[in-house]
Structure 1
Amino acid sequence: MKSEIICVGTELLLGDQVDTNSPFIAKELANLGIDVFFQTNVGDNLARLQETIKIAMGRSDLIIFTGGLGPTEDDLTKEALTGLLSIPLYEDPKEVQRLKEFFSKRGQEMPPNNLRQALIPQGSIILENSIGTASGVLLENNNKYFIFLPGPPSEMQDVFLKAALPRLMKLTQRERVGIYSQTLKFIGISESKLEKELIDLFHNQNNPTLALLAKEGEIHCRITAKVSDRETFLKIIQPLKREIMSRVGEYCYGVDQEQLEEIIVNLLKEKGLTLATAESCTGGLIAKRVTNVPGSSQCFKGGIVAYDNEIKAKLLNIPEEVLATSGAISSETALLMAQGALKLLNTDLALAITGNAGPASSEGKPVGLVYIALVGQSIKFCEKAMFSGDRERIRGRSSNQALNILRKHLINLNNS
């Protein structure tokens, strides 16, 4: 079954409201094995709405609308579709009674224009709204299915889950397939390089399929398949997943909801190692990310934000001549910051970072220049990196790179 989602509301086109309904509906439809091929936002204009519906009817079996079911004159979703199909609207007495009770329970008198929400397409099924005024509607016409859902996300989800979903399950139960996916998360490799390494897999895909998604500081590879259940999905993707990992596994840090910092905390605990951080340009972001992970207190002793050179010298024992000659943004300073944190906090490993997050050059060093150091009993390492973007993006990418350096070291310890 081919489906599409049409979200109605001029506020969506103006950017006043972000569409969260489409992702919710799309995920629910995927679980039913229903493909969503199109998502459209259209304003509160009858002609444009009907034009959008005509296009949708020419390519989809199931069309789901959200929004445009309110009590005002610009709520036109039902009128647009029924006008195209020449189906009359009638005032449903049960809906009228429900609306009156809705307002009565709140000690209010129902405004007359709310009766518009009791207008129902002839021959349709009412999908009751238990928390708001706009009920949904399911209409079948010429082997096409149309579902109207209210626009407010909480009401939309209520109507969809309680009323629309059970009926959609009946429509699709003979197929008994769902769309399942798993996301592999990669860091330290560009989207173009990752695609190059896997290009033949993209060319030969069928079921399962692959898709690359560029995220901030990392690349996600989503594996998707249409199968009967999750267990079958996990089995069917194993050959493809093994092939991917054999080629680019060194860059893969996690799966689905796993976060980079979560992986690192687990590796530290697994090896019985402790960590300290010394940060300048990231301002404590690395320590924050690590301590966001429950149980990180078992392996993370603490962090130092040495933003000023005086603090670098006093707390981390960096000689003033190093700061004067090499500068705060240098490999020498980064290594000394890590060594100072290692000694001060008495840990097995220390991760340090110094650089220029902008907005202007500092010490003659360009914006985006970063040095990351990792020291410990078996490692003394420093990496120079360049990042683009504003301060927030540079700091975020720098923390990603630092954590990935630590991740790779811990994995090498596991393999040694």
Structure 2
Amino acid sequence: MATQLASSTQASGTPLPVTCADVAMAHRRIEDQVVRTPTLISRTLSQLTGATVYLKFENLQFTAAYKERGALNTLLQLSDEARAKGVIAASAGNHAQGLAYHANRLGVPATIVMPRNTPIVKVTQTKGHGATVILEGETFDAAYAHARVLEAEHGYTFVHPFDDPRVIAGTGTVAVEMLADVPAIDTLVVPIGGGGLISGMATVARGADYAIEVVGVEAELYPSMYNRVNGTQMPCAGDTLAEGIAVKEPGGITSMMVRELVDDIVLVSERSLEEAVSLLLQIEKTVVEGAGAAGLAALLQHPDRFKGRTVGVVLCGGNIDTRLLANVLLRDLARSGRLARLRIRLQDQPGALFNVARIFDQERVNIIEVYHQRVFTTLPAKGLITDIECEARDRAHLDGLVTALRDAGYEVSTVELA
């Protein structure tokens, strides 16, 4: 891929902190120490979205996230003295594991400060990569502040998860590989948390000898970079599936680079994120966390924006809690009509439930759970509500069951998901 180094400047003419040359050197530095993840076309997702969709499987890195690239690029540029003293970071996510893993490989002591409420599985995984884990504070900000104190006290090198030119250059290697594998890509769709990944990838895109559009994606609940770039003040709060990009304040360096290099930022809903996670597992047979599915969520929610384009989507991480993944998949089945909870009003008399079950049998719909409610109801004392969780082939099959129940005289409603 040809590059034009002069492209790494701001409109004012001031050089940006990361150039195509920096990314190229980072790629040479780390390429034999990270997984060269594939960039593959998804014909099914292409048909579904109206774009030609290529997926970059960064969830196949050893620690299941692209974060290894920036962490390793930073570690490999440390002096012998800095290596001996060790590195420190504040992180409860993929950055912690990526830094811990490569620091351990290189014999560099690593300390990771995490909030006290970090899930135990993440603490265990980070310790498993050889890092010293310190639990401090109830929030990321508190953990970050403590990490900075330890940095000053012990002479550690602080490795920022995104707002560091070395980290940004390392993440840009994702785009180097994608465009080398598929030069036809004309649009890169990249999740934005703190902005490190899109800053590095946009640097590479702007250095190409052909036009490549760069579109960032944020969760609707955390539009922090969108706010910074557009001067808006939408709230950043709530429980998002895309916790890996749930950042309240983007970086100073990354904000400047995004403002100069990125064409657009789109926001995606929680429902689109859930659908994207589910589709990637069903269609591509790959596990992706909410942040990693944000790119596909953008294509699903804004199809007209990308229709007809050749789009490169980064599956930036695959670290999702298995119970959460199960919930996402079950909710998707419910929305498609394959799972349902029907609320049926019955008379409290012998055979009432049996007669309802016969209709389920006639319609060949499988009953999974039955919940009888006699006390906490507004019905008369001789009435009851029964919730029946069931499994159908599809929405039409479920609708047929509801029709049959109503034809038999039953009052039926569907308990809908949010």
* TM-score after normalising by structure 2: 0.26
Q: Quick check: which has more Rg, 1 or 2?
A: 1
* TM-score after normalising by structure 1: 0.26
